[in-house]
Amino acid sequence: MKMKEGHLVYRRTPIEKESPEEFGYERIKYNLAESSVSDFILGNLDIDLTDLALSYTDHLGNPQLREYIADEQVNPDNVLTTIGAAGALFIITTSLLKPSDHVVILHPNYVANLESPRAIGCQVEYLQLTMEDQFQFSLNKLEQLIQPNTRLISLTYPHNPTGTMITESQLNEIISLIESKGIYLLFDETYREMTPDPLPIVGSLSENAISVSSFSKAYGLPGIRIGWLISQNTNLMENFLAGKELIFICNSIVDEEIAAHFLARKKEFLSKVSLHVKTNQEILTRWMKTSDYMEWVEPSGGVICFPRIKSSVNIDIERFYETLKMKYKTFVAPGHWFEVDKRFMRIGYGYPSKHELESGLQCITDAIKDCVD
Ligand SMILES: Cc1ncc(COP(=O)(O)O)c(C=O)c1O
């Protein structure tokens, strides 16, 4: 007899199903959908792993690697390496939450921040950012969403997909709020180092705050699948470690070795990257300012922005994305990947070369022209 499926916990989301890697990188000419800097090539990192024994490794993570990540802001034992920031988010939410818990999540957001609490069955409410409010964070609105059973607030800054930031004084107000209410703060700071003046590691500010980050975005090494979480709360850390051990025991020793080598020479590797990002940001800003079709909130962190096709533009939006992808071989991250109107699109300007960005932006303009009445 065929088994009845009953309730299944996970669902694949558009951002994963329609991602560039699932579509096929070789079919894309101008990839403006990535939220990272360009991927590093292994050969350019000068790493020789010939003598590395392919054993299990420290369950918390390679000690040298954790020391680099701690960056003198926390104790290296407050750092737990994970499989990407995605792995950290999964460990944190499944360790902390049960269905009767209320969770407040910044929206729009990276999908795992939304889907993990939903999969657990938590009561989820959203702190909604809107273009009309310049995507600005409001402590007042956050306070109003808190319930007696709120266990976790989940924020992401620099923000994905808008590229907006909060100030250090806003961050301190958030910390005071979670401490006074006895609520945990999950702070996804995956894009932290992609601002000229990064906020402190949020996990260093309070025992209630947990930081999440990774090698994928600011460093351009998503293929090694190394992320981390940071917490000063030893009980929580013991639980997170137990979660990690249940899912994958420890990270790949090869990945962690590459990650530690990279951080030892981080400044050198990233100096060219920041010049590239600056040039591309200027190209993007020029394009936005001269566009008849688009409106935006200028980004202040990360390498992404979230512009929108103006409501006055009469466009067949489905045909636009199809034309952009198939005729112009250009990829952006459409609004529905973030559960908002498709007139929004996330444009990543750190990943493409200068030429690819210029051409890709021109293709967006051309695809709009092809699809307006
Ligand atoms: C805010 C944010 N957090 C976490 C992730 C997961 O990244 P990874 O698992 O590659 O570190 C992403 C990926 O897009 C992201 O944008």
pLDDT of residue 338: 98
Q: Provide φ and ψ at 97, rounded to 5°.
A: -110, 145
**Owner of token pair 């709020």:** 177
Where do the domains of the chain lie, and which CATH numbers do they carry?
14-41+269-371 (3.90.1150.10), 47-266 (3.40.640.10)
Decide if 52 contacts 79 (C-beta within 8 A): no
Ligand 1 lining (C-beta closer than 6 Å): 35, 84-86, 110, 156, 160, 188, 190, 214, 216, 222, 227
Residues, the chain, total? Answer: 373
Mutate to test the pocket of ligand 1, among 165, 212, 216, 224 (most ligand atoms within 8 A of CB): 216
Q: Compute, in angstroms, the gap from residue 316 CA to the centroid of ligand 1.
A: 31
Pick the residue whose CA is nearest to atom 7 on ligand 1.
85
Residue with CA at minimum distance from ligand 1 atom 1: 110
Measuring CA to CA, how many Å separate 240 from each of 60, 93, 162? Answer: 10, 10, 30
Q: What is the pLDDT of residue 7?
A: 82
* Average pLDDT of adjacent 10-residue blocks, the chain of 373 residues: 83 95 95 96 95 98 98 98 98 97 98 96 98 98 98 98 97 98 98 93 98 97 98 98 98 98 95 92 97 97 96 97 98 98 98 98 98 90
Q: Which amino acid is at 311?
A: S
pLDDT of residue 100: 96
Largest CA distance in the chain: 64
124: β partners: 103
Burial, 135: exposed, middle or buried (Cβ in 10 Å; 0-12, 13-18, 19+)? buried
* Residue 290: other Cβ atoms inside 10 A: 9
Structure tokens at 165: 């930031």
Of the candidates 323, 315, 322, the residue with the CA atom closest to the CA atom of residue 292: 315
Hey, which of 16, 113, 190, 225 would you mutate to test ligand 1's pocket, going by the most ligand atoms within 8 Å of its Cβ? 190
Asked whether 149 and 101 are in contact (CB, 8 A), the reply is yes
Angle at 169 between CA 173 and CA 146, to 5 degrees: 25
Does the reported pTM lie above 0.85?
A: yes
pLDDT confidence of residue 263: 98
| Residue 180: both structure tokens together | 């006074």
pLDDT reported for residue 303:
95
> What's 240-255 look like in SS3?
HHHHHHHHCCCCCHHH
**Separation between Cα atoms, residue 31 and residue 44, nearest integer Å:** 22
Q: Going by CA atoms, what residue is nearest to atom 2 of ligand 1?
A: 110
